[in-house]
Amino acid sequence: MKKAFITKEKAEEIAKQFPTPFYVYDEKGMRDNAEAVKKAFSWNPGFREYFAVKANPNPFILDILKEYDCGTDCSSLIELQISHALDFDGTHIMFSSNDTPFEEYEYACKIGAIINLDDITHIDFCEKACGGKLPETMSCRFNPGGVFTLSNGIMDNPGDAKYGMTREQIAEAYKIMMSKGVKHFGIHAFLASNTVTNEYYGKLAGQLFELAVELKKETGADIKFINLSGGVGIAYRPDQTPNDIAVIGENVRKVYEEILVPAGMDDISIYTEMGRFMMAPYGAVVTRAIHEKHIYKEYIGVDACAANLMRPAIYGAYHHITVLGKEDAATDHKYDVTGSLCENCDKFAIDRDLPEIEMGDLLFIHDAGAHGYSMGYNYNGRLHCAEILLREDGSFKKIRRAETPMDYYATFDEFPVYEKLKAEN
């Protein structure tokens, strides 16, 4: 059973100040989880989680994670600038980008971020952006090609993915960079997304640890860290068993001791770049039922839409829904829960068994804390909603205001129409 982290009364209290829809975040949940992640890898003295900023770039959230010594994983200028402005120092910023614009390497260099190169051809490009001298520590992203499978049937196709370098290229890249004065190296790979199995990190770590041993033999490079990246999933569906981060940490420790320790490489730091696992369960969209429609199917129209939470529309992703105040009611009605976009994919749920929904009911859309707000967009002139942080003591705080029409029109500001629109608002 999935339980909402907020009651109907609390949601109504928030809605009085901040009209629906809004995002709400569970501060205690995210803190407990960040602590559990730290503990799971405490066997590795250099361990650090670099939170994937793209999953949730809210500065208040990044600041909370910072208290647990998390760094940030960035792949754009904006993400780098937010991290820098929040006083993450260079060693706490991982720049794992791809198809990277010149000025983004320039900026990453300037703030001393750890640069994780996506391709061998980026060495010269990055060197120029860094003013002719590469940083002393560099990382390379690995793509083993082929197919990556786990025993529960999860499968991903690194061979079809645009990311990373081949085995041969990484060895070559290390040699080139050593000749250019780079002293310390990292290896990074992201092979499967949203893996709901404790097996993923251990299996990936095994591959990367073996690669590290070989690369060290072959190139003499000083390998300082191995970055297992993201991909640790969460149980979006109520019938799934959530990952256990303690078991995951232990699985990585086992292969570390099997592969790295005997090779004399027992000072390597483990890094992670989890986004989803750090935040998804601790954020939700709260939205109100505003219409019901009875045609060939039963529809409930809510005041949020795919522009607020895109995953169901683009991936057909399942997000559990709780009708607040009806947690214990029988789920004896079948609905499609829709937003207002002029796109038929704008459905938060299809043929979902839910309690009978009355107009005005509040729906809690679970697991939207990662790749939720941050994927939002302005299609159909829909605006981003507010983000609210719910504290353990029940108090709440706005951590991002809702967009206004003037935010949407801001980029019209050089044109006469802007003044007219301003007068409307």
DSSP string, 138-204: EEEEB---S-EE-TTS-EE-GGG-S-SB-HHHHHHHHHHHHHTT--EEEEE----SSB-STTHHHHH
* CA gap 1, 412 in Å, rounded: 48
Residue from 66, 203, 276, 326 touching ligand PLP (CB under 6 A): that is 276
Q: Is residue 164 close enough to count as binding ligand PLP by CB under 6 A?
A: no
How many helices and strands in the chain, by DSSP H and E? 13, 19
Report the candidate in 195, 175, 272 with the shortest Cα–Cα distance to residue 236.
Answer: 195
How many positions of this chain bind ligand PLP (CB under 6 A)? 18
Q: Which helix (H) or strand (E) holds 226?
A: strand 222-227
The amino acid that residue 142 corresponds to is F
Task: Classify the C-alpha dihedral 80-85-86-92 as positive or negative.
Answer: positive
State which residue, 107 or 163, has the beta carbon closest to ligand PLP. Answer: 163
> Which DSSP state fits 356?
P
Examine residue 55 and tell whether it contacts ligand PLP (CB under 6 A): yes
Q: Which of 231, 312, 369, 376 binds ligand PLP (CB under 6 A)?
A: 231
144-151 contacts at long range (C-beta below 8 A, 24 or more positions apart): 144/189, 144/191, 144/207, 148/191, 148/192, 150/192, 150/195, 150/197, 150/199, 150/200, 150/203, 151/197, 151/199
Nearest to 98 by CA among 125, 71, 72: 125
- Cis (ω within 30 of 0) for the bond into 158? no
Task: Identify which of residues 252 and 363 has a Cβ nearer to ligand PLP in the complex.
Answer: 252
| CB nearer ligand PLP, residue 123 or residue 228 | 228
Least Cβ distance, residue 323 to ligand PLP (angstroms): 28
C-beta neighbour count of 235 within 10 angstroms: 16
Closest CA to 285 of 248, 310, 260: 310
Instruction: Give whichever of 14 and 65 is closer to ligand PLP, judged by the CB atom.
Output: 65
Of the pair 49, 346, the CB lying nearest ligand PLP is at 49
CB of 227 to ligand PLP, least distance (A): 8
* Nearest distance from C-beta of residue 90 to ligand PLP, angstroms: 18
Q: Does 127 bind ligand PLP (CB under 6 A)?
A: no
Out of 21, 71, 275, 312, the only residue in the binding site for ligand PLP (CB under 6 A) is 275
Nearest residue to ligand PLP on Cβ basis: 230
Q: Within positions 244 to 263, which residues make up the interface with ligand PLP, using CB under 6 A?
A: none
Q: Is 242 in the site for ligand PLP (CB under 6 A)?
A: no
Span 358-377, contacts to ligand PLP by CB under 6 A: 370
Query: Residue 86 and residue 386: Cα distance in Å, rounded?
Result: 21
**Taking the complex as a whole, how short is the minimal distance between the CB of residue 99 and ligand PLP, in angstroms?**
12
Minimum distance, C-beta of residue 201 to ligand PLP, in the bound complex (Å): 11
Beta strand 396-400 with 347-354 is unpaired
Asked if 33 and 278 count as a contact pair (C-beta separation under 8 A), the reply is yes
Strand 114-117, strand 321-323: pairing: unpaired
Out of 56, 96, 100, 219, the residue judged to bind ligand PLP by CB under 6 A = 96
Smallest distance, ligand PLP to C-beta of residue 50, A: 8
* Residue 122 sits in the site that holds ligand PLP (CB under 6 A): no
Q: Is 190 in the site for ligand PLP (CB under 6 A)?
A: yes
Site mask for ligand PLP (CB under 6 A), range 3-32, x = bound: ------------------------------
Q: Is 156 in the site for ligand PLP (CB under 6 A)?
A: no
State the nearest-atom distance from the C-beta of 63 to ligand PLP, in Å.
19
Q: Which span sits near ligand PLP by CB under 6 A: 24-32, 176-184, 230-238, 351-359?
A: 230-238
Only segment of 7-15, 170-178, 273-281, 352-360 that touches ligand PLP (CB under 6 A): 273-281
Q: Could you say whether residue 315 binds ligand PLP (CB under 6 A)?
A: no
Which amino acid, residue 7? T
Q: Using the rule CB under 6 A, which residue among 27, 73, 79, 119 binds ligand PLP?
A: 73
Query: Which residues neighbour 202 within 8 Å (Cβ) at sequence distance 6 or greater?
Result: 248, 251, 252, 254, 255
Complex with ligand PLP: residue 76 or 380, whichever CB lies closer = 76
What are the residues binding ligand PLP (CB under 6 A)? 52, 54-55, 73, 96, 190, 193-194, 229-232, 273-277, 370
